[in-house]
Amino acid sequence: MSTIVRAGSPAEFLALVPHLLGCTPRQSLAVITFAGGRSLGALRVDLPDPAVSEVDSIASTVIGMACKVPRTDAVAAVVYTDLRLTDATDTPHRALVEALVARADICGLRVTDALIVGPDGWDGYFSPAADGPRSLDEIAADPGLPGLPEVDGDQFAAAMLPSIPPSEASAVYRLLTDIEHLLARSKEGRRLPARRRAAAGRVLDDVTDPPAVFERFVAPGIPLDADAIAAVSFCLQRPALRDVALMQWVGDITTGDATYGAQHAYGEGHPFPADLARPMWGEGAHPDPSRLLRALDRCRYVAAATPREGRAGPLSACAWLAWATGRSTHASAYVAQALEIDPGHGLADIVRTLTDRGRLPEWVFERESVTSPGGTGSSLGSRDR
């Protein structure tokens, strides 16, 4: 919610909304928050079934989220519907918009405008056009403003896993399989060719220092190879190491070291420090959004490259990272994929509970300097291990 752009005419404003959301929504209600006439960001929720009476609850939830954005004094609403506007006797979803306006008034927020976009045109709730919906051609495909996020399909498009070259997928599968054989000291492991044994051994050597693996993983400009993908996949399939990764990506490598040490201490009967656990629930340390997004993008690649039977762990990490960046729709999609593979997966179930309850991390609603619950001043290059 950090992009700030000026609001223009209704048509110009509608051209901006998909860029604020990073997608062209379908069957959605988008609410844009404002401070002093300038937009602060946007949030999106699914449209309810018009036959279901839940508009008051949805309006309360959405306006409650808007109120969490610092300095918000006004909102605008845009309904994206698959219903044809020219065929409707009244503007679709009017009850939802009226509930939203009423809730905003109770909370002291102005509603600057309420618009609707359908497959055959767009219109306004406050001042509908006398001769029918306006043409979609009035909404510019590109508002021509630098710095806005790219639009990548609808709200579900970004949750699709990327395509992996078959050769790379095969290399990752071979590494993960060989690693498991070596750890199990199986006959297959003893029969491995020297080259494959050495390759699997390198990955195992790397994961003896998980925070170093996780920090390289999110370092800008460092490409992912089969070894790096296999190392992170191996860790994300193991809950204790996965949690180290997530808390480190929220914070920094010092956080990872502290969490890794706390996991060992917890296994020996010591309590887990509350300050290290708080980010898991969206509290505490304020993360670097670009770092989290980079972790999410790369975790999606790891999930795609991991054989299906081991993919629930990487998918649950994707789900949590999507949730941590305010992308609950994407989080729900990753959760569904993870639970299809492993119906009892713990983290996937936790993220499902968070999204079902409409809970988002506190840091989604504000932009502060990055802090770390594990300390400050650390970097991968300065570690002494």
* pLDDT confidence band for 286 (50 / 70 / 90): confident
Listed in sequence order, the residues at least 6 apart from 91 whose beta carbon sits closer than 8 Å to its beta carbon are: 85, 116, 123, 125, 128
| pTM greater than the 0.85 cutoff | no
Fold exhibited by the domain 5-131+148-155: Cytidine Deaminase; domain 2 (3.40.140)
pLDDT at residue 380 is higher than 50: no
- pLDDT tens column, 70-123: 889 999 999 999 999 998 888 999 999 999 999 999 999 999 999 999 999 999
* Distance between CA atoms of residues 83 and 19, nearest Å: 23
Contact 231, 245 (CB under 8 A): no
CB 167 within 8 A of CB 161: no
Other CB atoms within 10 A of residue 119 CB? 13
Q: What are the residue boundaries of the structural domains of the chain, listed by start?
A: 5-131+148-155, 166-382
What are the structure tokens assigned to 284, written together? 């505490």
What integer pLDDT is reported at residue 365 of this predicted model?
A: 79
Look at 39 and 350; give whichever has higher pLDDT.
350
pLDDT band at 231 (very low <50, low <70, confident <90, very high): very high
The rounded distance, in Å, linking the Cα atoms of 184 and 96 is 58
Q: Give Dmax over CA atoms of the chain in angstroms.
A: 79
Q: Decide if 72 contacts 33 (C-beta within 8 A).
A: yes
Tokens of 68: 């969490």
Task: Read off the tokens for 384.
Answer: 């002494």
> If you compute the radius of gyration of the chain from its CA atoms, what whole number of angstroms results?
24
The vertex-376 CA angle with 240 and 207, nearest 5°, equals 30
